[in-house]
């Protein structure tokens, strides 16, 4: 009987952890899908501030212009880092997904900034499904 209680507790903990992980990851998933599937508007980012490098390089401000010239956004920054060696005034290929003050590039060292949310979402969904499944299979029947 103690083992049943222990497994029931594990199932409840898995459900709670699943819900928490999904709550953390779901708000960022639309942006993560757009970034990972390249669903943005392609264009060019021109660095307009000094580039700072530590673990990754970034510039606090730049201008994004879409390839078709219809979209120009000033005061944006590359969210996932810039290649090393760029100087102010240099341009780099980027894409805009409509995120406030952010554009993205495939050239940065930091990779996609939303990969963690995919992982959290998958682990959260698995924990939720497995916890509910275990609780359902081991429910007390009259």
The secondary structure of the chain as a DSSP string is -HHHHHHHHHHHHHHHHHHHHHHHHGGGHHHHHHHHTT-SEEEEEEE-S-EEESSSEEES-EEEEETTSS-EEEEEEETT-B-TT--TT-EEEEEE-S-TTEEB-SS-TT--TTHHHHHHHHHHHHHHHHHHHHHHHTPPP-
Asked whether residue 70 is assigned to any structural domain, the reply reads: yes
pLDDT digits (tens, 9 = 90+) for 46-105: 998 888 887 778 788 899 999 999 989 999 988 777 877 788 888 888 889 888 888 888
* Structural domain containing residue 67: 2-137
Structural domain includes residue 142: no
Where does the pLDDT of residue 1 fall: very low under 50, low under 70, confident under 90, or very high at 90 and above? very low
pTM over 0.75? The answer is: no
Number of folded domains in the chain? 1
């Amino acid at each position: 009987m103690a083992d049943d209680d222990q497994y029931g507790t594990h199932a409840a903990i898995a459900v709670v952890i699943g819900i928490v992980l999904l709550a953390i990851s779901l708000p960022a998933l639309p942006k993560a899908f757009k970034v990972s599937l390249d669903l943005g508007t392609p264009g060019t980012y021109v660095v307009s501030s000094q580039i700072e490098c530590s673990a990754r390089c970034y510039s606090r401000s730049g201008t994004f212009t879409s390839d078709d010239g219809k979209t120009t956004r000033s005061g944006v920054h590359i969210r996932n880092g810039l290649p090393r060696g760029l100087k102010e005034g240099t341009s780099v290929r980027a894409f805009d997904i409509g995120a406030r003050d952010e554009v993205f590039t495939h050239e940065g060292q930091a990779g996609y900034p939303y990969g963690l949310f995919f992982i959290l979402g998958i682990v959260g969904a698995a924990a939720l499904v497995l916890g509910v499944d275990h609780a359902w299979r081991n429910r007390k029947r009259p």
